[in-house]
Amino acid sequence: MRRLAEGHPFVHCIRRAVGFRIPLVLMSSKLRKIEIYDTTLRDGSQGEGVNFSVPDKLRIAERLDAFGIRYIEGGWPGSNPRDMEFFRLVARRRFKSAQVAAFSMTRHKNTPVDKDTQMRQLLAAETPVVTLVGKTWLLHVHEVIRTSPEENLRMINDSIRYMKAHGKRVFYDAEHAFDGYRDNPEYALATWLEAEKAGADCIVLCDTNGGVLPQEIANVTALAVKKLKVPVGIHTHNDCGLAVANALAAVEAGAVQVQGTINGYGERTGNCNLTTLIPILQLKMGLSCVPKSSMPKLRELSLFLDETANLKPDPRQPWVGANAFAHKGGMHVHAVERVVSSYEHSPPEAVGNVRRVLVSDMSGRSNLLVKARELGVRLDPNAPQTRDILDRVKELESKGYEFEAAEASLTLLMRGMLGQGRKLPFVLEGYHVSMRSNGKGSICEATVKLRVGAKEAHTVAEGDGPVNALDGALRSALVRFFPKLRRVQLIDYKVRIIDSGSGTAAKTRVLITSSDGKREWGTVGVSENIITASLQALVDSIEFALLKQ
């Protein structure tokens, strides 16, 4: 172990990022390695709305391995049949870089370790790594598991020795490590030393309640690193929004393993978010935790987890969110066009993200020019049409339109004002939406009459609500003329009341996302009538699909 000099630029960089002063200890003068331990499949699945099937868990494990994650915690054997099935199937897989871990508690109180059901189930998982969680906090020893401090130490020792005797690599998760140390430093340290004496390969300090601040995390971790001969890890929760900051504080204090989840999934407000932590460790702090070649695949991994969990991606996620490198203010866009680092802390492509320019009533000409180029529309910076388009965008935004999520509508607007847009290939002559009862409930029905050239089409469709019925009728009428529209599907529909003070006469903004299976596009409509607003967005969506084809 060696200490870096106080004046070293790496020390200064991390101190400034974390915000406090403690000694920075490195394993050697070479690039320091941090082991990433992913617990998405166990701790992450305890988050509300997160539910993985066995095939889901297998696919996720394969993606985590391909990304270069060192340890993958698969679940808690015996807690449910799904986890046992996962461990049975994953034992047949051969991973490139990852080792699978099974999680459980130390043995039950007053129970011989070889007779303990949990211990037998843990061995039955047949994983090379096991993670055992045990009590640090005397409050839990006395009030939760209701045993003596001495028996708790025996539970820790017996469980670790038993697993080591069966050839397992053992990580000991010290639950409530920081709360327990604050309450009784001597006993907390005694539990960690007991785990070390029993043969634990790593002692992981857990901020289980997520309520500890970075300075305390740093101080206690530094003490553990000094007192223990085995490596120290960190496991943080995000109840105060500090899970990543606390993990970084522990790493600076000498922790060499970080436990967390992809996208921060987890109980309550979640766990340490690995999609935020990994690029900070690797790109900001110069530490090695995954292969360099994996970093541009980080956003892809994040989206894959959201898709598998059937959760909508958070656009405001640091690094990987859709808005992480999005620029809206005209001054920002103008500066980024000249020097990208003027308003970006890191290249978006480093994590597989992209720079986005937003157009709104806050936009300047730079926004419009960049966005037009991005959308394939040629604008002359000095042409009067460019100013006209910008004025029109601001006028429509003041009336409730929103083009940030409706780039297809913006494309059609720009092309139309430049005279590049073709005439709408169909004429909607009329439509009707109604509801009727079939004795079991209400059914929405839409009728559409339109003309394509000299030919007319008149269709009726039912749907789950008036907009779904209208979309079905409109698409059914047009698909006979434009067969490629069969591929186009409405995949998202959002409604926002703009001026709620107007009561039932308030304007409604409708945002629609459509897809042809290869790409997605957004359109917008605004009206006092929700059906009219929806129809505007639907017609724009179809026109844009036909324009692209």
Within 10 angstroms of residue 232's Cβ, the number of other Cβ atoms is 26
- Give whichever of 286-295, 321-330, 349-358, 438-447 has the largest mean pLDDT: 286-295
Question: What structural domains and CATH numbers belong to the chain?
Answer: 31-290 (3.20.20.70), 427-548 (3.30.160.270)
Mean pLDDT calculated for residue range 78-86: 87
Mean pLDDT calculated for residue range 282-298: 95
| 273 vs 528: which has the higher pLDDT | 273
Residues 201-232: pLDDT tens digits?
999 999 999 999 999 999 999 999 999 999 99
Lowest average pLDDT, out of 230-244, 334-348, 439-453, 467-481, goes to: 334-348
| Residue 79 to residue 75: CA distance in whole angstroms | 8
What pLDDT is recorded for position 7? 43
Name the strands in the sheet holding 427-437, side by side, starting at the edge strand that comes first in the sequence: 427-437, 442-452, 455-463
Beta carbons of 458 and 447 less than 8 angstroms apart: yes
The CB-based long-range contact list for 538-541 (8 Å cut-off, 24+ gap) reads 538/467, 538/470, 538/471, 538/474, 538/490, 538/512, 539/424, 539/428, 539/474, 540/406, 540/408, 540/409, 540/412, 541/408, 541/488, 541/490, 541/512, 541/514
What pLDDT is recorded for position 211? 96
| Residue 85 to residue 58: CA distance in whole angstroms | 10
- Give whichever of 64-73, 84-93, 324-333, 537-546 has the largest mean pLDDT: 64-73
| 357 vs 545: which has the higher pLDDT | 545
What pLDDT is recorded for position 410? 85
Helices (H), 363-485: 365-374, 384-398, 407-417, 466-479
245: helix, strand or coil: helix
What pLDDT is recorded for position 8? 47
Residue 334 above 60 pLDDT? no
What pLDDT is recorded for position 342? 67
Residues 490-508: pLDDT tens digits?
888 888 887 655 555 678 8
For residue 270, give the amino acid letter: G
Mean pLDDT calculated for residue range 79-93: 90
Beta carbons of 242 and 203 less than 8 angstroms apart: no
* Residue percentage of the chain with pLDDT more than 70: 86
* Residue percentage of the chain with pLDDT more than 90: 51
Averaged pLDDT of the chain: 86
How many residues can be counted in the chain? Answer: 549
Beta carbons of 311 and 303 less than 8 angstroms apart: no
Lowest average pLDDT, out of 13-17, 168-172, 190-194, 468-472, goes to: 13-17
Under the banding of pLDDT at 50, 70 and 90, the label for residue 307 is: confident
Residues 407-433: pLDDT tens digits?
888 888 888 888 876 567 788 888 888
Say what the pTM is. 0.71
